[in-house]
């Protein structure tokens, strides 16, 4: 029996899908694992990872055309899992690039915008970020204050975006703003006058990832900066579906790394003359971890097959993001206890994953938001805001 893929999920994959997983795993083993503790400690992620991930075809992997590989949703998910087995920050880099910034252009842009930006982004030569969240509007992006007004043929943007992954290393930002016609998306090149980005410091989570504040101060953009094919909040939320789907898989990668580390440790660490893995309490911890890892991976694959068939619903992604991140975090915390004092150092990956998963639980919709999204789906009542019952049923 395989102590990690215990229920043989691998048997449900095609040869091509297995090859994707193996290729990404080997990249992570040679490039990420030897360095990531240092990146985490220093609070950085080398920009060169962009072209490297691009060469592997991992940026905009599930998009078709414009230099993108057009891989299946399952192949993309497996890549996310393997990247996040390295570090959530590395998976985030690929998610933000492919599922948020590139996907926004792919879904809402015109042909000229796609030709201009997507091939270079797929190669990792240009880095994108996705600015939806604001200091006062995280879970409720509908209230955003960033505005875009027409001035002759131009657009002028004002506002602040907060917690933006890759913001200060990005060549372009996708910025969502209120206009007279509702929320619209804009492509903001980093050298646009009135645009600036600065790093957010002192994070204790997702340290191997750049997180930034974007400021738009009278930022003047030409008419062609507007993404013409996405109107309303539904446009950015459709991008989030893509990234949330990647997290469903990715979180199982972090969980697998924690479980594998704890299992190895339990087999070799001796206390009271026996390996700690010989004690019933340790075995119960490991088995509970394996149960949730197996279920979560199967859930990811089930959703991936649905996505490839074209019948995956956003609320199903919410259910899986809610479950898999919650369980990955529980697995990381349990694994940390098995490692004892070694569990609190960067010599082992566990506390790094554990701290990272605190961000993953919050970004791309908090666990509470995903609970409410599923709650709305099954009851017909939106409980996001305290509205009277009569007006919250659909």
Residues within the interface to ligand TGC (CB under 6 A) = 92, 95-96, 130, 132-133, 139-142, 165, 232-234, 237-238, 240-241, 243, 314, 363-365, 369, 373, 384
Three-point CA angle 357, 55, 300, nearest 5°: 35
> Shortest Cβ distance from residue 308 to ligand FAD (Å)?
26
Beta bridge pairs of residue 159: 216
Q: Which listed residue (82, 134, 292, 364) is catalytic?
A: 364
Q: Residue 63 CB: number of other CB atoms within 10 A?
A: 25
User: Measured between alpha carbons, how far apart are the two ends of the chain, in Å?
Assistant: 49
> SS3 for 345?
coil
**HEC string for 227-281:** EEEEECCHHHHHHHHHHHHHHHHHHHHHHHHHHHHHHHHHHHCEECCEEHHHCHH
Which of 220, 355, 384, 392 binds ligand FAD (CB under 6 A)? It is: 384
Bridge partners of 179, per DSSP, are 182
**Residue 103 sits in the site that holds ligand FAD (CB under 6 A):** no
> What are the strands, taking DSSP E only, across 263-326?
270-271, 274-275
Residue 133 or 297 having the CB closest to ligand TGC: 133
How many residues of this chain bind ligand FAD (CB under 6 A)?
Answer: 19
Residue 134 bears catalytic tag: no
Using CB under 6 A, which of the segments 40-48, 264-272, 341-349, 360-368 binds ligand FAD? 360-368
Residue of 192, 58, 187, 180 lying closest to 110 (CA atoms): 187
Minimum Å gap between C-beta 165 and ligand FAD is 4
- β-strand partners of 270: 275
Q: Which of ligand TGC, ligand FAD, none lies near 211, with the C-beta cut-off 5 to 8 A by kind?
A: ligand FAD
Using rule CB under 6 A, residue 139 touches ligand FAD: yes
Q: Decide if 35 contacts 295 (C-beta within 8 A).
A: no
Beta bridge partners of 381: 393
According to CB under 6 A, which one of 78, 206, 328, 329 is a site residue for ligand FAD?
Answer: 206
Query: In the range 245-304, which residues lie near ligand FAD by CB under 6 A?
Result: none
Q: Is 99 in the site for ligand FAD (CB under 6 A)?
A: no
| Contact predicate 323/360, CB 8 Å | no
Among ligand TGC, ligand FAD, none, residue 98 binds (CB under 5-8 Å by kind): none
178 is an interface residue for ligand FAD by CB under 6 A: no
Which H or E run contains 15? Answer: helix 15-27
Task: Find the part of the chain contacting ligand FAD (CB under 6 A) among 70-78, 158-166, 183-191, 334-342.
Answer: 158-166
- Residue 375 lies near ligand FAD (rule: CB under 6 A): no
Query: Which one of ligand TGC, ligand FAD, none interacts with residue 164, CB within 5 to 8 A by kind?
Result: ligand FAD
What are the residues binding ligand FAD (CB under 6 A)?
96, 130-133, 138-139, 163-165, 206, 211, 359, 362-363, 366, 368-369, 384
> Known catalytic residues?
364
């Amino acid at each position: 029996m395989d102590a990690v893929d215990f229920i043989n999920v691998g048997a449900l994959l095609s040869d091509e899908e297995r090859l994707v997983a193996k290729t990404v795993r080997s990249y992570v083993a040679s490039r990420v694992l030897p360095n990531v503790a240092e990146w985490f400690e220093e609070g950085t992620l080398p920009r060169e990872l962009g072209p490297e991930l691009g060469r592997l075809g991992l940026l905009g992997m599930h998009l078709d055309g414009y230099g993108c590989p057009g891989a299946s949703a399952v192949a993309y998910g497996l890549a996310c899992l393997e990247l996040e087995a390295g570090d959530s920050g590395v998976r985030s880099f690929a998610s933000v690039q492919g599922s948020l910034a590139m996907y926004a252009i792919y879904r809402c842009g015109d042909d000229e915008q796609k030709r201009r930006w997507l091939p270079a982004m797929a190669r990792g030569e240009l880095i994108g970020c996705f600015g939806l969240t604001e200091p006062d509007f995280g879970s409720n992006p509908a209230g955003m204050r960033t505005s875009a007004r027409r001035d002759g043929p131009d657009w002028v943007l004002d506002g602040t975006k907060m917690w933006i992954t890759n913001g200060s290393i990005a060549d372009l930002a996708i910025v969502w703003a209120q206009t007279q016609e509702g929320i619209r998306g804009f492509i903001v090149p980093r050298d646009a006058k009135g645009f600036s980005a600065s790093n957010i410091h002192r994070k204790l989570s997702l340290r191997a990832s750049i997180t930034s504040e974007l400021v738009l101060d009278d930022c003047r953009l030409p008419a062609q900066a507007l993404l013409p094919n996405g109107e309303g909040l539904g446009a950015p939320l459709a991008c989030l579906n893509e990234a949330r789907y990647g997290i469903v898989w990715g979180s199982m990668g972090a969980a697998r790394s924690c479980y594998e580390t704890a299992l190895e440790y339990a087999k070799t660490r001796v206390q009271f003359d026996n390996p700690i893995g010989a004690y019933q309490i340790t075995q119960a911890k490991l088995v509970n971890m394996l149960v949730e890892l197996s279920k979560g991976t199967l859930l990811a694959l089930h959703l991936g097959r649905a996505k490839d068939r074209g019948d995956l619903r956003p609320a199903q992604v919410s259910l899986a993001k809610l479950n898999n991140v919650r369980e990955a975090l529980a697995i990381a915390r349990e694994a940390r206890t098995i490692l004892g004092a070694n569990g609190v150092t960067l010599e082992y990956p566990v506390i790094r994953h554990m701290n990272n998963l605190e961000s993953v639980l919050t970004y791309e919709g908090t666990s509470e938001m995903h609970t409410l999204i599923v709650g709305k789906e099954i009851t017909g009542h939106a409980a996001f805001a305290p509205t009277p019952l009569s007006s919250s049923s659909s």
